[in-house]
Amino acid sequence: MKKIIISILCILYFSLSAPANAFIGGFTTPHDCDDAVGWFYTNNMCNWSAQGATDGVNYIAHDTTAYSATVTNLNGVRMGFVPYAADWQLRTYICPTATAIKCSVAKSSTYLSSSTIFINSGQDMYEQQGNFMTSGNIPAGSSICYIFIDPKYPDKLWKSGSAGVVKRFCSEGSDLPSEAATCYINSNQDLSVSLGTLERSEIATRPMKNSAGNKKISVDVLCTADATVDVLTQFQYTPITIEGVDVVSSSSEGLGVAMFYNGQLMSPIDTRSENFATGYSSVELEFQAVRDPSMDLKDIPSGNFTAHVVMIMTQQ
């Protein structure tokens, strides 16, 4: 049997804007950080400790109210670029726990929502001004983590990928881009696709879209320009030729993966010209395992193998 895993790395081209001098604060902080983990008192206020930046544990031992602190050790820490200019909000997820653990969205029982602040997409967040104002109660025995959202798309979760703060954010968030861009593929995250476990005799010998066993994935494309964006889409990979057709080579001899983009089989030299409206769109990627029919089935090794593709969208 064969278990197939494909990874797609999405590469985008960016244009940068000039920085300003300010920084965004207002991260939810407990009033009481006695016996807490990841916090310490400074100037009679609770501040982030260096430990929390390392292990991501923001544990609060005693029942306390929350307030919005301009965390002083954030000054100068790059947070990332929001994917588009909008009113953004900070969510603080609360995980009930008897021990100091790292919180996540999945482990949480509730969350606190801040007020919204307008954030421009052309500058890193730390270069802008604003305060996420949050109030509410944090029960005794709670760990917390943070997420950025646009309230218009509450299911799209974002976190800072900065080394100084990334551990304090909930792991479910997609990393904010480290540079400004016009379009983002799959929330700027790599995509891993598993084709499952296959019998060698059932692996196709010629690419065919919509075949049984093919894996289809819908991938979000978010474009933030003020007008429709014209792009050229192509895929980079090392090919293997099977029955006169180029497909993605794999780590196993005689096996490859055919890849279809919105129904079109894509070779390394194929391109697609298309346009995307402002906001969220989606494209369909379809994957099919294929084998070289000239090889005996017994010569195809069993076990896992991988294939890698780079998807590139270039603005025209």
Contact 198, 213 (CB under 8 A): yes
Which strands make up the sheet holding 303-315, listed edge to edge?
Answer: 191-198, 2-11, 303-315, 229-236, 271-276
Residue 58, pLDDT score: 92
Residue 16, pLDDT score: 27
| Higher-pLDDT residue of 144, 50 | 144
Give 126-153 pLDDT, tens digit per residue: 788 778 888 899 999 999 999 999 999 8
Least confident of 32-36, 160-164, 214-218: 160-164
Cα→Cα distances 254→67, 71, 126, 235, 301, Å = 60, 56, 50, 21, 9
Domain boundary among 130, 156, 178: 178
Q: Which residues of 84-116 are buried (b: 16+ CB within 10 A; e: fewer)?
A: bebebbbbbbbbebeebbbbbbebbeebbbbeb
Residue 6, pLDDT score: 37
Q: Say how many C-beta atoms besides its own lie within 10 A of residue 163's C-beta.
A: 10
User: CA 125, CA 137: separation in Å to the nearest integer?
Assistant: 27
Give 257-289 pLDDT, tens digit per residue: 999 999 999 999 999 998 888 788 899 999 999
> Could you tell me if 279 and 310 lie in one domain?
yes
User: CA 199, CA 289: separation in Å to the nearest integer?
Assistant: 11
Confidence of residue 54 (pLDDT cuts 50, 70, 90): confident
> Could you tell me if 57 and 167 lie in one domain?
yes
Confidence of residue 8 (pLDDT cuts 50, 70, 90): very low
Residue 3, pLDDT score: 37
> Could you tell me if 6 and 135 lie in one domain?
no
pTM for the full predicted model: 0.62
pLDDT > 90 in the chain, percent = 37
> Could you tell me if 173 and 51 lie in one domain?
yes
Tokens found for residue 237:
């990979």
Domain boundary among 153, 178, 203: 178
Average pLDDT over residues 284-297: 90
> Could you tell me if 277 and 305 lie in one domain?
yes
Residue 24, pLDDT score: 66
Q: Can you give the residue range of the structural domain that contains 70?
A: 24-178
Tokens found for residue 40:
């310490």
Residue 137, pLDDT score: 93
Residue 124, pLDDT score: 83
Sorted by sequence, the CB contacts under 8 Å of residue 274 that are 6+ apart come out as 230, 231, 233
User: CA 260, CA 246: separation in Å to the nearest integer?
Assistant: 12
Residue 264, pLDDT score: 94
